[in-house]
Structure 1
């Protein structure tokens, strides 16, 4: 973001180059101050004075402010001289004190002053110093609006000054000046909107990534129509949807030299923490297509293929590609030496301890098979087939041995398909008996069977509870794989990892530790191959089954509260906590780091008042927030205090009888 201070920001430790720039800036400003001090005050009539674009103050004084200035001048005169520069037409352009000039003009209109009578004190500077004097004088009187600083730097650049010279003159780092000059190239309508505070500086910074004024205005208009006040990240995505970062593999493959030779330009983002530079995505993709088309032709010629083709996406085994192409590469035939080498690599891969070593072994195996496959592709085969070159996201890939389908090929495939179907009907017996009957009949009868089982199970709660418990256990307990039937379509999944990542207590929390211990104990009670069938639960006591079922059901509880449209969702735990007679203090207490340290000092004071420690609250709110948080951890936990919005509401009767009950409910969570 562009800083709008009127003095250069000093770093904690300056390099020699920075110190030199600071000295130059101080020397230049001192020179300007001396020039102003040595320049005599001249008295001019109002008619000789005029407004000028050399004045960097583009946010005008309000009419009320000018009226007040006129009243002050009429009562006391002009107490501070104006600063001006003599323009080619002989008038004096005011670069410092435009408000006082306008106030004088009101007195002329009132008839208090004569426009031709010398009255206004002005120090006249050379034109080449006018803009710098205007920025310093206006900045000292009132912080400049970012738009004014941007326009001021642009004016100095138009006078022929470099970013380094402007930085030295005004006391800014050249990087800051470069950013301001980048903003100065925005569409005039956007700079005007910035001056009127209808667009933020951060939004303007993002819009500089658009190459033309028309594109800048188009993106801003579309964003405002859709989001009214678009977020910076949203705006950035819109601006760069036709661009590609030069770190993208596509650009790296094409190369900056080829890109610029094709007329491409690079757009640098001067406002990101780490500079990002973008290229024209359409041009990059066009150059990539050309480069890979040439590569495909070269591979076809070098390897003897009948044809080659390039497309951004790989050839697929399905869809439209399946209607036109077939993968016909012959299978690899390994030599004895190659088979021995593959066996060695597979054994080595089994013994590896890192994924990198395993990947390296697998890559060597793949290379052996690829070489053997290409060896089987004879010159005659290659002449009758082609290769397909595509982009896989990071680099190009080649799919060899592709056959283009002819009408004869399609007819032959259709004949084979029909013969296969006829053979199945005439000569084979289905592995699944139901396959011999019409599918509609099978579906109808299976529906009838399902209803009958449901009716029977509804009268056998012992079996239904056992089945439910077993089904839920499948997702929560460790098991080996094996074929099984799962007739009950019910499930519960543990969200403990997600909850632990959010909760301040994390993996070490008291609640999560208790759940892990209970899981370990229950796992030890499960019989071998428990996951293959549920009937073993029928021999368990009701208490044992309920314990296991209760553990599974607990993992389905979700009380996360999110904030939508500035309102926090109501907690879904209130009723359950009431049924459990739940007390959060048993599991958690607020501490300085994870709770009190996140509050404002006033909120900590309010917590003391809720705990009945109003006198102590007055002392704590005077502390630094870190010290107040530590004090709150000690004092409020001693009182057994909990945040009101984390505790279930009291029953209605009790709430009516208790006058000091905290009335906030959990949907007020912050």
Structure 2
């Protein structure tokens, strides 16, 4: 016969005067978690008591009820009610809704407290968002909602921002298909279709971190920290109709500008206006670019101008600033740490003095007529105007009439003529070399020649810095050259044949000028240039003689480094340019110097990116790089992607892998050996070789000069 299970009976509920209640010592909650009793009391004062107290009768020594009840579960509510009584907002005899458990219950009293807290389930964030959204739709502001639930207005804004996410992604999150921080990452863009597209691309990927979602959603935007945005100003961009994207959940450094075309137009217009003003000074040419290439002034003569004199008011201001600076330094010279306001004032004085010392230069009018100006933007968005550079072909020319700046990309004169002598200054913004489109296929095709030149330009600059920092290697390299000249068959052309020819980098990636090596070389050169007494040969000789031995060796290493040439270039068997033998010798010596200095291009700051490598080679080469740097499994994860997406994913996968393309590797056997022209023996290096004759880059399609990107 089946046993009938006894049906449960729920505990009775009743209203008990507050003065008949007392806290139980059996409450398991001992540690405060930061919730304030004041907030809970304010909530009860607004809404009433939404949850009853759990109580048990208090028994005397003989087991009889005393009329008092202890509260094992609901201690915070009890204290909040107690606070309302102290503030005269409730009488102490106010009936309190309570659920009464029998005093002789088999369930221990501690279990009541534990069960109420342990089995409690927090509100799902999506339910919270929808509830906030309902209140907001009913007319409540962010601040009002925040005040009602004792949270910050930012917290409410963040939850309401989830409304920007596609309802389809809401459903996926509600079914635990994604995490909250992933859902939050989608709020940086409003396009639901794009959000869904990004999730579909990442859903089955092993990497779908929030930063990856944000990157994919903002890949067509420009960061507010970009030099162009800093130069124009976000306010000007918004005033022109530009749209900003902001992330309330993460630090976004000002957000993203959603219209790069508008931003570039504003940059172009502002630069053009500046060029117009400078053209009125009478310069022959003006070159404007957002990011001028490294070594753009190579081969040009810099004019020697004189700074303008200070006015009487400026001299008085400078003297007053210097006295104030000296007074503050003397007053706080023994202080371990400067007060914030004093430290700030000293910084302001230093900036003001620097501005007074950085005077505009005055140039000879005849020199201005044959010289030009470079205008660019530095990495912090500041305008950089570099006046007074004379091209070799203009050294003997006469001054021409004043030029005026023309629209971005314009090269002709106002009257339509093409006479070089009357052309206005040219403004070029962001002109970069373009690479030919790849053909699909699994064949490992040769690296484009221009890409090899750019990669070896990176290596050349890093090698210059490495040699300059290693005096022993620099002196050895110079001695090696002198011994060859002394004991070889080369004829002397001067008193001392040894010389340094500053090697120009004809083709280079946009990021070369910002590389650690470029900055180190430039800073070292500027420091020496500020000390060396140039202009008089005898004075220079005396100064060099007076240097201590360590300084002489450091200067020698720096000068030798400027003659380093590890560039690949197409050999010419007909006498003009470098021969195959000369190129082989150059690259062998570059490998030797790399090994001697311990040059590591990874340590020198080179990383494979879409711009400097991965977007410039075929899919098969991208996959080969990922296999070598991140493993076969990583390559299989991206082999189905289109080339653009594959290159971006490969950049992320290889970021910290230490992978290098063949032209940048240290091992000597990887030195390129170039394919000769017809009639000369030799083979292409592995990274330029191809079994398919049609895959090679045609000679007439390769140029060492930059091609403006469309």
TM over 0.5, yes or no? no
Q: 1 or 2 for the larger relative contact order (CA 8 Å, sep ≥6)?
A: 2
Report which of the two structures shows the higher radius of gyration computed on alpha carbons: 1
Point out the structure with the larger helix share. 1
- TM-score, length basis structure 2: 0.33
